[in-house]
Structure 1
Amino acid sequence: MEWTWIIIGVILAIVAIAGSILPLIPGPPIAYVGLLLQQLRDEKPFSTNFLLLWATIVVVSLVLDYIIPIWGTKKFGGTKYGVWGCTLGFLVAFWLGPWGIIIGPFVGAFIGEMIAQQNSNIAFKAALGSFVGFLAGSFLKLVICFFMLYYILTSI
């Protein structure tokens, strides 16, 4: 039975890695479930503090996944209109599927900046910031999921 938990944990971690790239699949929480399943083995490989630390990391990564594109918009010169556009673009596009989550913040920030400044160069730069923020968030999730996969594999 022990190998069943190991195999399921590894599969969940691999799905989580894919979910870090594909929107709508929550990568880090899925990998965390794989980590938790290892505790069902005969010898528990992880301490409670270790699992609480990773739970905190997963929650923080989920929060940052929404904040980083907004931060990217501001960092690339976006105004509050671009930030609001990025946020609204994400919320509206979230319901449109995976491509909507990628394109929504970009288009929202662009439209917000066009409303504020009507300068397409500044608007494009702010929209690019939201896309860079999305990529940074995806990279962060990838790193977290790879670490959890590493811990699952080293617990064997």
Structure 2
Amino acid sequence: MEIAGWIIVIVLFVVGLAGAIYPILPGALAIYAAFFVYGFFISFEPFGFWFWTIQTLIVAALFIADYAVNAWGVKKYGGSKASVIGSTIGIIIGPFVIPAFGLILGPLLGAVIGELIAGSNWSQSLKVGFGAVVGLFSSMIVKIILQAAMIVLFFLWI
């Protein structure tokens, strides 16, 4: 049972880190679930109040940062609320509509369309679209760092 537990934990860690890049995967939640798998298959003993508190705060920070960093990228380049919403929609549906390039084109096109709907010209809309891509990559970096910290803390704790 212990080997099965470790296999599932490792798979969840891989899915979690992949979720930092591919937003449709439940990145932080997969890593968080791995802690429960470890507990059920091996032992909850190493995990105390501080482990769960720190990990939960990191997960909360990841959810907040995911939206906030993307919105920051759009706003930094002069985007409106419509372009933030468009970018967010683009992040979610882009990879499905355009499988190979949707991760980048989704937020870019979503922000551009949102900004055009808000009444901006093409030049400003493209600038905001670029900001959405900057926000996306910044968000990915933040997620990778925080999710890696979750995994490192797990191994330090056990």
- State the TM bucket, normalised to the shorter chain: 0.7 to 0.9
Partner residue of 2:144?
Answer: 142
Q: TM-score, normalised by structure 2?
A: 0.78
In 2 relative to 1, CA 77–33 (structure 1 residues): closer, same or farther, beyond 3 Å?
same
Question: Which letter does structure 1 place at the counterpart of 2:139?
Answer: G
> CA-atom RMSD, angstroms?
2.7
Could you tell me how far apart the structure 1 residues matched to 2:151 and 2:95 are? 27
In structure 1, stretches of 5+ residues that fail to align are: none
**Deviation digits for residues 17-58 of structure 1, max 9, x if unmatched?**
122112311111101111233333346112123213312321
Question: Which letter does structure 1 place at the counterpart of 2:121?
Answer: Q
The one of the two structures with greater contact order (alpha-carbon pairs below 8 A, sep at least 6) is: 1
Report 1:72-151 matches (<5 A). Answer: 72-90=73-91, 93=94, 96=97, 99-115=101-117, 116-120=119-123, 122-151=124-153
2:23 touches 2:92 (CA, 8 Å); kept in 1?
no
In structure 2, stretches of 5+ residues that fail to align are: none
Query: Kindly, what percent of the aligned residue pairs are identical?
Result: 32
Could you tell me how far apart the structure 2 residues matched to 1:31 and 1:133 are? 23
Question: Which letter does structure 2 place at the counterpart of 1:154?
Answer: L
Could you tell me how far apart the structure 1 residues matched to 2:98 and 2:133 are? 16
In 2 relative to 1, CA 58–97 (structure 1 residues): closer, same or farther, beyond 3 Å?
farther
* Count of residues in correspondence between the two structures: 155
In 2 relative to 1, CA 48–94 (structure 1 residues): closer, same or farther, beyond 3 Å?
farther
